[in-house]
Amino acid sequence: MTMTAFALMRGDAANPFDDFATNDSLPVSSGRRRRERDIPPLSPRKETARVVAIVVCVLSGAFFLQLTVIGSFQARAAQRQAFDRFRERLAFGTAPTSGADEEGHLLALGTPIALLEIPALGLKQIIGEGTTAGVLLDGPGHERDTVFPGQFGTSVIMGRRAGFGGAFSDIGSLKAGDDLNFTTAQGTFVYEVVGVRREGDVIPAVPAGSARLILATAGGSAFVPNGVLRVDANLVGTPVVGVTPPFRSSNLPARERVMHNDTSTLWVLAFWLQVLLLFALAAIWAWHRWGHIQAWIVFFPTLLFVGLAVSGEAARLLPNLL
């Protein structure tokens, strides 16, 4: 009889199978169970703080991406679609010449009305009808209480300074004598820049028999506006006759004025915020139940997608010229 067997009979030695007698020593689950015992559960207040932190981080990152990278790609895609639509309507003779159709119905916001080309900046943009924050997400817009480009009177075109591609980011560098070329259903028109005007500057006079066009965007630095920057240009040649705009400056909706936001889709923003909150709670649950890596793999793409949806709607709450 060996010494080990003799010791076991006397009870002097520990049972070599004792290491497998408890669950703590199981190689598969011991580490996980030990960690669960060692880490105390968070209080409801700390759990709430964790959810809030996740939501804030997702929204901050998604909003930055929406304003810069993703918003720029979206604006380019929208411009390509608008260019195709406008070219087709020009070919069929159905492009609009006023803010209302033949039956008196207002054009839908964002309807392509003109093509703007600025050779000095290498800029080519389709102009949409209306100047809400939503319209200007896709490119410059035409202020609906003014005439169309090329017609008698004053036409105002607004564009963003920095966000969503920043179509008008460089118009402040235009010089007197630079050309602005517009193509509409009534033909091609050339405007000559008179100068760049900021808040408080004197408005240059319009020569008799001519027409005025104003490009407007936010002044100051990229995302810290300081008033409105305007570029004044006079039509070269004779203006064409147009239809009286459907709005006057006195009854133009507030959301279409310079540096105003658009609150018409707040309900959509509220919906996506609720979806984001639900997914954040689900991510916290998965964090504890599945493990950290599994929770990240499953919920990071979902939270990012929902965050971008939230930030896209929140962008409408920014001033329309940013």
Instruction: Summarize pLDDT for 66-83 with one digit per residue, the tens.
Output: 777 888 999 999 999 999
CA distance 118 to 125: 9
222-236 confidence digits (pLDDT tens): 778 888 999 999 999
Read off the pLDDT band of 300 (50, 70, 90): confident
Within 13 Å of residue 47, how many CA atoms lie on the same side as its CB?
12
Average pLDDT in the chain: 85
pLDDT of res. 21: 44
CATH class of 97-256: mainly beta
Q: What is the Cα–Cα distance from 229 to 232, expressed in whole angstroms?
A: 10
Q: Does the pLDDT of residue 199 top 60, yes or no?
A: yes
pLDDT the model gives residue 8: 44
State the DSSP string of 274-287.
HHHHHHHHHHHHHH
Question: In 3-state terms, what secondary structure has residue 232?
Answer: strand
- pLDDT number for residue 25: 46
Q: How many residues in total does the chain contain?
A: 322
**Distance separating alpha carbons of residues 234 and 220, to the nearest angstrom:** 25
Query: Which of 9-13, 51-55, 138-142 has the highest average model confidence (pLDDT)?
Result: 138-142
pLDDT at position 26 over 50: no
Report d(CA 193, CA 231) in Å as an integer: 7
Cβ neighbourhood burial of 20 (10 Å; 0-12, 13-18, 19+): exposed
Tell me the average pLDDT across 281-287.
84
| For residue 37, pLDDT beyond 70 | no
